[in-house]
Amino acid sequence: MSIEGQSNDRDKVLGALGGKRGLLDSGLPSLLFLLVFTITKSLNDSLIAALIVAGVFTLARLIKRETIQHALSGLFGVAICALLSRHTGKAADFYLPGLWINIGYAAGYTVANIVGWPLLGIMLGPILGEDFHWRNVPARKRAYIRAGWIWVALFVSRLIVQYPLYRAGNIGLLGTARLVMGTPLFAGVAWLTWQVLRKVPTAKASK
């Protein structure tokens, strides 16, 4: 594959996994929640700040007529976190849905890899123009599975670090861990995913 072709595929992969704007849309509301809560100790003010910035991101995408998938998912996610935290009155519960999501993703990627239908292949195959033909090419299938285990490691590592902090109610460290293991780590794993996949040519339909 040419350098230009690899670059196009890389952009497709990174875009499907969130892209820079998608990561910002989902990460900044959590950052603002942590900053406001650290300064004011007010749960309501922190939740309002997070919801406002998530809403601004969504509105900005609508005005620019850009894809709003990640902004809407970010707004919906922040709303769920806010409702739960507001219902329980515990700031730590703002981060609880994120732990549930990581459990679900870790389980989903693991099961999919074991049964031979890696989620990355299901998601990226059509985007890269190979549909599900990668299942008939052992090397390509193994590449998707290997990349899938990288994501499992990401989700599990988040749980190992963040769940004890949640149980302890340490908002400062929990919020910091969420940020450090959020956008930066996600971007790193997305890059590693591309490094694994680019070494194996995309699968073509058998004639």
> Residue 102 contacts by C-beta under 8 Å, 6 or more apart in sequence?
155, 156, 158, 159
Average pLDDT over residues 165-186: 90
CA distance 153 to 156: 5
So where are the chain's domains? 3-197
Helix 3-16 to helix 183-197 angle (10° resolution) is 140
Q: For the whole model, what pTM was predicted?
A: 0.84
Q: Are 174 and 92 in contact (CB under 8 A)?
A: yes
Residue 4 has a pLDDT of 44
pLDDT per residue as tens digits for the range 47-106? 999 999 888 888 887 787 766 665 677 788 889 999 999 999 999 999 999 999 999 999
